[in-house]
Amino acid sequence: MNYLDALNKRYSVKKFDPEKSVSADALYHILEAARLSASSLGLQPYKIIIAQSADMKEKLIPAFYNPSQISTCSHLIAIVSKNDIESKYIGAYFTQISETRDVSLESLNPFRESISKHIDRLSTEQVITWADKQCYIVLGNLMFAAALENVDTCPMEGFKQDIIDEILDLDITKEKVAVTLALGYRSEEDDFQNLKKVRKPNEKLFKFI
Ligand SMILES: Cc1cc2nc3c(=O)[nH]c(=O)nc-3n(C[C@H](O)[C@H](O)[C@H](O)COP(=O)(O)O)c2cc1C
C-alpha cells in the first residue's frame, strides 16, 4: 500500500474485531520496525513487551481508563522506558558495536566517554524525559509499519501507571511503561473509522524559511 494511503486509512481504533488476530508474520514485520528504530546516541533505552495471551490481556484491562481496545485487541504492546543508564549498560552497548562492526573497543573510547559524560550530567528526571522520547519514536514506527501491513492500531497513554507497571512486573526503580499500542483489526461497529481527520492545514503547520 502507498504510505500516504496507509496513513489516511489509519485511525485510532476504539473497538477491534475480537475474532481477528494479527498473524505471526505481520507481527514480526511490525516489531522489526520497532527494532530498527533510531534512538538518541543509539542507546535504545527501552524494552518492548507484547501481551498476546487472552489471560494477560484480561489482566491488563483494569490498568486502562477506557479499556474497550484492550478487551478486543489481538495484541497489546507496552513500550517500557529505561531510566537507569548506568556504565554497565553503556559498556554492553559498546561491546555490541565492537563485535558487530569488528572494530576494537579501544577505538570507541572517545565516543564512549562522551556518551557517559553526557548521561552523567542528566538528572533522573531528565533521563526519564529523554528515555520516554525515544519510546515515542518506536511508537511512531510501530504505527506506521502496522498501517502498511494493513493492521489497525490505537496508541494509548490512558493507563494507570502504578497498576500497569505492577501487572507487567516491572522494577519501578529502573523502568516504567512509557506508552502502549493496541493492535488488531477494526470492528465494523467502530464508528470512529467514519470520522474525517482533523488536522492543521499546511499553512498553519509548516513554515518554510
Ligand atoms: C501518544 C498518544 C496517546 C494516545 N492515547 C490514547 C488513549 O489513551 N486512548 C485513546 O482512545 N486514544 C489515544 N490516542 C489517540 C488520539 O486521540 C488520536 O491519535 C488523535 O485524536 C487523532 O486521531 P486519529 O489517530 O484517529 O487520526 C493517543 C494518541 C497518541 C499519539
Q: Does 143 reside within a domain?
A: yes
Residue 181 CA, ligand 1 centroid: distance in Å: 10
Q: Does 30 reside within a domain?
A: yes
The owner of cell 516489531 is 31
- Tens of pLDDT along 4-30? 999 999 999 999 999 999 999 999 999
Nearest CA to ligand 1 atom 27: 11
Q: Does 99 reside within a domain?
A: no
Q: Does 46 reside within a domain?
A: yes
Nearest CA to ligand 1 atom 16: 12
Q: Does 31 reside within a domain?
A: yes
Domain extent for 42: 3-88+123-205
Q: Does 165 reside within a domain?
A: yes
| pLDDT value of position 43 | 98
- Tens of pLDDT along 133-159? 999 999 999 999 999 999 999 999 999
- Tens of pLDDT along 24-53? 999 999 999 999 999 999 999 999 999 999
| pLDDT value of position 124 | 94
At residue 129's C-alpha, the angle toward residues 76 and 61, to 5°, is 25
* Domains: count for the chain: 1
- Ligand 1 neighbour 158 (Cβ under 6 A): yes
Q: Does 188 reside within a domain?
A: yes
| pLDDT value of position 1 | 73
* Pair 169, 68: CB distance under 8 Å: no
CATH number at residue 157: 3.40.109.10
Q: Does 55 reside within a domain?
A: yes
Residue 14 CA, ligand 1 centroid: distance in Å: 10
Residue 70 CA, ligand 1 centroid: distance in Å: 14
The pLDDT of residue 203 is above 90 = yes
| pLDDT value of position 143 | 98
Residue 38 CA, ligand 1 centroid: distance in Å: 22
